[in-house]
Structure 1
Amino acid sequence: MRVIGLTGGIASGKSTVTDILKKRFNYIVIDADQLARQAVELGSPGLDKVAAVFGQKVLNENGELNRSLMGELIANDQQTRKILNSIVHPEIKKLYDQQIQYYESVGVPAVFFDCPLLFESNLQNTVDETILVVADKEIRIRRIMERDQLSREQAIKRIEMQMSDEEKIALADTIIENNGSLDDLLIMINIYFSNRKLWTD
């Protein structure tokens, strides 16, 4: 079974590519963000470990993780962020491995791993190949401004907080440009599939 890592910066259109893979091509997509939420959901070992380290203050009244408070804590303290990651990342890895093992056991030929921080987390060597979705900076700025109702300066700041496309391009196996319409994007994806037969690998 092949595992293809899919990534892209904010407003690149990665989520649109994910939807196309799932809905039009019927591929299995493992969502890293969903795994991260699952790793600390109510009743999970991950949440128990987070509460044991940071205290009950990081939980809501219903016992779930107070994500806004946790977000504030890690935003203001790099050491706190490292501690949280050291707890959560192994739990995410367990969930990821469980899914990979399951899909492999039932004979799925290929799955995609949707991971926004694939390169930032140095996970490119854990997959068989990588796809990077990119778009011109000005297009991304406009998308962020329209989608999130932010100023141009705020949109630029969000982009610049992430690893640059130039750095990611140097690490990626395949680049999918998403500067045009949905039809243009579908053409790019079809070109990718025309060069590969994932179901035979």
Structure 2
Amino acid sequence: MINWEETDVIGITGGVGAGKSTVLDILAKDYNAQIIETDKVAQDLMKPGQYCYQKIIDMFGKGLVGDDGQLDKKRMFELIFKDKENQERINHIVHPVVRATVKEMIKNSDKEYVVIEAALLIEAGFRELCDEFWYIFVSTQERVKRLYEQRGYSEVKSYQLIQNQLSHAQFCKNCEYLIDNGKSIEETRKQVHEILDGERKS
């Protein structure tokens, strides 16, 4: 783990549909934290002309490129979702570059708190960059409900996505702090404040 002198680096993770963005909003508004969403970093690195873009095309072919010249998100999802080996091959290309990019963003930050959000925070090797991991969770039923309401996912698709991620027990084992995001926003905010203003300082 890197010892950042002026900055606390918090890693935020949790399963799909857990509402990690709610916690990010609270940290940004209440603590002026810099938010780094690794999915967005990865998307930038996969744009035409970027390192990951060409590496992925070299590995999987031009069939992944859409009419606009960008990597087609739907085709990428199908490629990864249906074949774990393909997922690992793409992760092997993308994750090291994302970590290096995030590391530079932390170095250049002037904020007291930098927050790294990643669904694969644990698997992608972000432990060395973070002072601590927070796990955001809700019940499986609530996740399925949110995925239907917010993304239009069927129950079958939602359960498949959930089963492809770490279990609740695995997340708990690897994270220092847990936040139950299944109630009101104010209840979630209270838990965030208890961690940053209470537990961590005791």
TM-score, scaled relative to structure 2: 0.83
Corresponding residue of 2:137: 134
Of stretches 122-131 and 34-43 in structure 1, the one that deviates more from structure 2 is 122-131
Please say if residues 39 and 95 of structure 1, whose CA atoms lie closer than 8 Å, have aligned partners that are also in contact.
no
What is the alpha-carbon distance in structure 2 between the residues aligned to residue 45 and residue 159 of structure 1?
30
| Secondary structure in 1 matching 2:124 | coil
- In terms of mean alpha carbon deviation, does 59-68 or 5-14 score higher? 59-68
- Which region of structure 1 is more displaced relative to structure 2, 123-132 or 173-182? 123-132
Please state whether the residue corresponding to 1:6 is helix, strand or coil: strand
Quickly say closer, same or farther: Cα 1:77–1:152, change in 2 above 3 A: closer
Range moving further from structure 2, 56-65 or 33-42: 56-65
Q: Which has the larger radius of gyration?
A: 1
Alignment identity in percent? 27
Whole-angstrom distance in 2 between the partners of 1:77 and 1:155: 17
The CA distance in 2 between the partners of 1:101 and 1:32, in whole Å, is: 16
Matched residue pairs, number? 195
Map 1:68-107; keep pairs closer than 5 Å: 68-103=74-109, 107=110
What is the TM-score when the length of structure 1 is the normalising length?
0.84
Structure 2 residue runs without a partner (length 5+): 1-6
* Two-structure CA RMSD over aligned residues (Å): 2.3
1:188 aligns with 2:194: no
Q: How far off its partner does 1:151 sit?
A: 4.7
Large movers: runs of 4+ above 6 Å = none
Q: Which residue of 2 aligns with 1:165?
A: 168
CA contact (8 A) 1:7 1:132 kept: yes
Secondary structure of residue in 2 paired with 1:24: helix
User: What are the superposed Cα offsets for residues 15-49 of structure 1, whole Å, 9 maximum, x if unpaired?
Assistant: 11112212333210111111110111122122122
1:11 aligns to what SS in structure 2?
coil
Aligned residues of 1:120 and 1:163 also touching (Cα < 8 A) = no
Q: Does 1:13 align with 2:19?
A: yes
Q: Is 1:67 aligned to residue 82 of structure 2?
A: no
Contact 2:33 2:112 in 1 (8 A): no
Distance across 1 between alignment mates of 2:119 and 2:141: 20
Match of 1:39 in 2: 45
Please identify, of 66-75 and 112-121, the stretch whose mean Cα deviation from structure 2 is larger: 66-75
For the Cα contact (< 8 Å) 2:95–2:124, is it kept in 1? no
* Distance change (3 Å), C-alpha of 1:162 and 1:69: same
Gaps of 5+ in 1: none
Distance 1:143 1:46, change over 3 A: closer
